[in-house]
Amino acid sequence: MTTGPAIQLKGLSLSYGDVVAVDDVSLDIPGGEIHCLLGASGSGKSTLLRIIAGLERQGEGSVTIGGEVVSDAEGHIETELRPVGFVLQDYALFPHLDALENVLFGMPDRKSAESRMKAEELFAEVGLSDRVDAMPHTLSGGEQQRVALARAMARSPQVMLLDEPFSSLDVQLRAGVRETTLRILREAGVATVMVTHDPAEALSCGDRVSILREGKLIQTGSPEAIYHHPCGQEAAETFGVINRLAGESSGDRVKTSLGEVGLAAQDPGCPGTVLLRPEQLVLVESGDGGCRVDRIFPEGSTTLYLVQTAEDERLYVRMLSTETLPEDSSLAVRLR
């Protein structure tokens, strides 16, 4: 029994001609962890997932699963021989097989009574005991997703790979299906790598998050650490708009037009520049404020304001929707 990481990636690189899809990525993922790969389209997330699954072979580096090297310069174990489950964005259920037959398809001895019993147990786990005979086209999106999960779990994988599995579900359904899926994987102790381009989803689902940009892994950490202590501007911008304030450095503090700001970290390439998230600022009434609200972006529970300050700075400010601003009042931006 191995005590090392369930998944170990070392120096993975893959190029398609002149296009670098994955660039020297190394990552260790322990058993039972939900690990989110976050990045924009084309950042290398799905390619990295396909390398772990064995659907793509890297140009450089190695993949180890459960202590066994499954791909390196010396050899490459095919996908079907790896202890890996894979749930795609479109679920890829076989349309001519009913739900139970879809799950049984992934088992070595699909016709045995033991396999059928295991498949029925999986249906109970995902809450679909009454849908075993249903054809895929009669299932809702959430039901199809759970059948796909049961089929992937039927192989008793050490690793589960999820490629944006919830993106096609409506908002109301998504949260419940997501919670069921991740609960089952955590309880089974399966190391899970989940691809998403949604920062909120990564923060709410991942035990750890890795940010990818142009094939490079730029930061890995807990949701709290990666949001509140980004390693630089690229990582910070992954979670939405940010404010850049010029200032005068003095040790670990910077004097800006909004006052003195303590730095969580310093970027040697941008001395005296402060990055602030919109929720770190607030709009207040002020007789000499001189701020003008240029645009308002309702977000539901919060509202994002784009304001022009008296110092001719354009800043984003995020406030609770309940924090209403008096009409025709003189406003100023302050640090929270």
Least confident residue range of 108-112, 141-145, 184-188, 195-199 = 108-112
Please state, in angstroms and rounded to a whole number, the distance separating the CA atoms of residues 29 and 8.
6
pLDDT of residue 268: 58
Q: pLDDT tens digits for 223-248? A: 999 999 998 888 999 999 999 988 88
Judge whether 277 and 269 are in contact, CB under 8 Å.
no
Tokens of 307: 């304001």
* Band of residue 68 on the pLDDT scale cut at 50, 70, 90: very high
Positions of CATH 3.40.50.300 in the chain: 7-233
Interval 186-193 mean pLDDT: 93
Residue 55, Cβ density class (10 Å: 0-12 exposed, 13-18 middle, ≥19 buried): middle
Q: pLDDT tens digits for 74-124? A: 999 999 899 999 988 777 899 999 999 999 987 878 889 999 999 999 999
HSE value, Cβ hemisphere, 13 Å, CA-based, for 78: 2
Which residues in 203-235 are b (16+ Cβ under 10 Å) and which e?
A: bebbbbbbbbbbbbbbbbbebeebbeebbeeeb
Query: Which amino acid is located at 323 in the chain?
Result: E
Judge whether 282 and 315 are in contact, CB under 8 Å.
no
Q: pLDDT tens digits for 247-293? A: 887 777 888 888 888 776 666 556 668 889 999 999 988 877 788 88
pLDDT of residue 256: 86
pLDDT of residue 169: 82
Task: Please tell me the pTM assigned to this model.
Answer: 0.87
Please state, in angstroms and rounded to a whole number, the distance separating the CA atoms of residues 305 and 75.
55
Beta bridge partners of 320: 302
pLDDT of residue 13: 97
Please state, in angstroms and rounded to a whole number, the distance separating the CA atoms of residues 147 and 102.
8
Classify strands 7-16 and 19-29 as parallel, antiparallel or unpaired.
antiparallel
pLDDT of residue 266: 63
Residues in the chain: 336
Please state, in angstroms and rounded to a whole number, the distance separating the CA atoms of residues 184 and 177.
11
7-233 domain in CATH 3.40.50.300?
yes
